[in-house]
Amino acid sequence: MKKFLAGVVAAWVVLVIGIYAFVSFGCLPANADSKPPIIERWMAHTSLRASIRREAPQGPVPVALTDANLEAGVKLYAANCAVCHGASDGEPSNIAQGLYQHAPQLAQDGVADDPEGVIYWKVKHGIRLTGMPAFSPTLTEEQVWQVVLFLKHMDSLPAGVEKTWKSVPSAKTAD
């Protein structure tokens, strides 16, 4: 038994030294201009899905579907999100293209099909291992829900709000 335990401890020591050497000799890539390997994508996506399943709110949206809330959502999006997720023309900025996980252009590749609670969780908590920031330190609960409302109804906005959305300047970076 003692020998077995000594073997287990030795295996752990070798593993820890191996991981330390792997990281400190620069074998773990630190660059953002390549495609994430399958194992990293699997870990990021699986843990994201599991966290959302456990934590995303399920109840009704606590903010009313009014023009004023949608309008506020568009403005918050223009100020906080368009730099990565683009305006209504769906043209990506240099920042969006350079992120390690490319930021989806939400006018083209939107999230209207996702439940509101899922969108809320991503905006509030951010997405680890990607450039998606958490907005819990900066936006109020009401503001997060207003952005969620806008993203959920992006394809069916009332005329006045649609006009504001179309007037958000393109995020495309000048050549």
Amino acid at 115: P
**Cα separation, 92 vs 84, whole angstroms:** 7
Residue 169 per-residue DSSP state: P
**Cα separation, 80 vs 93, whole angstroms:** 14
- Mark the segment that binds ligand HEC (CB under 6 A) among 1-9, 10-18, 27-35, 73-81: 73-81
C-beta separation of 146 from 114 below 8 A: no
- Mark the segment that binds ligand HEC (CB under 6 A) among 5-13, 18-26, 59-67, 95-103: 95-103
Whole-number minimum distance, CB 166 to ligand HEC, in Å?
18
**Cα separation, 175 vs 172, whole angstroms:** 9
User: Taking CB under 6 A as the rule, does residue 161 contact ligand HEC?
Assistant: no
Out of 99, 115, 117, 153, name the contact with ligand HEC by CB under 6 A.
99
Q: For ligand HEC, how many residues bind (rule: CB under 6 A)?
A: 21
Amino acid at 127: I
User: Taking CB under 6 A as the rule, does residue 115 contact ligand HEC?
Assistant: no
Out of 56, 61, 72, 84, name the contact with ligand HEC by CB under 6 A.
84
Using the minimum distance from each CB to ligand HEC, give the nearer residue, 90 or 131.
131
CB atoms within 10 A of CB 161: 21
Q: Among candidates 111, 97, 119, which has minimal Cα distance to 171?
A: 97
Out of 147, 149, 154, 157, name the contact with ligand HEC by CB under 6 A.
147
Whole-number minimum distance, CB 10 to ligand HEC, in Å?
39
